[in-house]
């Protein structure tokens, strides 16, 4: 444990704190929380740093607050991995009495860390289908993404060669798609192109973001008027299906200055 104490000492010195500074700061924490167990006397702090004394859970809390550390990180330094709690629970005998059960503490979550090698930056893709591997990430690091964890959303990437909705959606941007909004709306009186819903569409050729309209059994995939992409006409649900409506985007505006590819034939594609 001496190595851990030295680690704490180095961290304290890097922050420019003296032993007395830490003692006083921990005392203030104890006063604020009305519990003197949070206070770390100077002699005890010295023992923690030089003799390998393990601090109590209250003093670990104070050290985490003073040294700007994640409390769970300090616990892990001393060999306690809370993410293993669900695995250790079966080691105990089944309870003999009826009881309330709470979910085990979750400290890490799995997020995508590896995409399918076939992922092509030039083509628009459904990212949910391109994930090949997942990895553990501390839950605290993901708090800023809380708003995007609701069910019913998928995420897409606009290929670097996909100018279908240029300049509203630039090549290389990321989109959030609400899968619950997969019904094509008729014109309710949109006053501008910004009010018209953009849909994420899956076809045999791949994915496209575009405006859509239905004519009988035909789904018309309409690009932006400034785009060089052609209009596409496909059989609804047989050749093309609407994944959902684009409700969020993340893109770099400096791409607006990039030159457009040569205009393609803008005549509507014919059904076979």
Q: How many domains does the chain have?
A: 2
- Paired with 246 in beta bridges are 177
What pLDDT digit, counting tens, does each position of 144-170 carry? 454 444 557 888 888 888 999 999 999
Contact assessment for residue 123 and residue 205, using Cβ atoms and an 8 Å cutoff: no
> Could you tell me if 69 and 156 lie in one domain?
no
Give 222-227's long-range contacts (Cβ < 8 A, gap of 24+): 223/163, 223/164, 223/165, 224/164, 224/165, 224/166, 224/167, 224/168, 224/193, 226/166, 226/167, 227/163, 227/164, 227/165, 227/166
Residues 6+ apart with CB under 8 A from 64: 70, 71, 73, 74
Domain membership flag for residue 167: yes
75 and 155 part of one domain: no
* 202: β partners: 207, 241
Same domain, residue pair 151 and 69: no
Q: Which of 80, 103, 122 is the last residue of a domain?
A: 80
Which of 62, 80, 98 terminates a domain? The answer is 80
Within 10 A of 248 (CB to CB), how many other CB atoms are there? 13
243 and 154 housed in the same domain:
yes
The CATH number of the domain holding residue 210 is: 2.10.109.10
Asked whether the whole model's pTM tops 0.75, one would answer no
> What is the pLDDT, as a whole number, of residue 102?
45
Write out the residue range of the structural domain in which residue 24 sits.
2-80
Boundary (domain end) residue, out of 31, 54, 80: 80
pLDDT at position 200 over 80:
yes
pLDDT at 133: 59
Tokens of 208: 């496209």
The tokens describing 251, both together, are 């893109």
Hey, how many other C-beta atoms are within 10 angstroms of the C-beta on 223? Answer: 22
Q: Determine the pLDDT at residue 269.
A: 53
């Amino acid at each position: 444990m001496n190595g851990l104490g030295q680690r704490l000492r180095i961290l304290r010195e890097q922050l420019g704190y003296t032993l007395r500074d830490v003692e006083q700061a921990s005392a203030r924490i104890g006063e604020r929380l009305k519990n003197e167990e949070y206070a770390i006397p100077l002699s005890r702090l010295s023992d923690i740093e030089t003799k390998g004394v393990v601090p109590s859970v209250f003093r670990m809390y104070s050290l985490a607050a003073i040294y700007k550390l994640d409390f769970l990180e300090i616990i892990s330094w001393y060999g306690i991995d809370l993410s293993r709690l669900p695995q250790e629970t079966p080691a105990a005998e089944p309870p003999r009495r009826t009881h309330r059960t709470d979910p085990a503490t979750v400290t890490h979550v799995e997020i995508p860390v590896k995409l399918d090698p076939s992922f092509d930056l030039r083509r628009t893709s459904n990212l949910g289908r391109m994930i090949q591997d997942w990895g553990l990430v501390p839950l605290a690091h993901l708090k800023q993404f809380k708003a995007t964890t609701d069910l019913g959303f998928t995420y897409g990437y606009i290929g670097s060669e996909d100018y279908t909705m240029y300049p509203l959606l630039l090549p290389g941007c990321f989109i959030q798609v609400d899968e619950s909004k997969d019904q094509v709306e008729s014109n309710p009186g949109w006053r501008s192109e910004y009010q018209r819903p953009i849909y994420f569409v899956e076809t045999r050729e791949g994915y496209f973001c575009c405006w859509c309209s239905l004519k009988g059994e035909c789904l018309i995939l309409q690009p932006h008027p400034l785009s060089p992409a052609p209009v596409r006409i496909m059989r609804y649900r047989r050749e093309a299906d609407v994944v959902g409506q684009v409700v969020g985007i993340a893109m770099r505006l400096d791409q607006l200055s990039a030159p457009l590819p040569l205009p393609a034939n803008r005549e509507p594609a014919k059904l076979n």
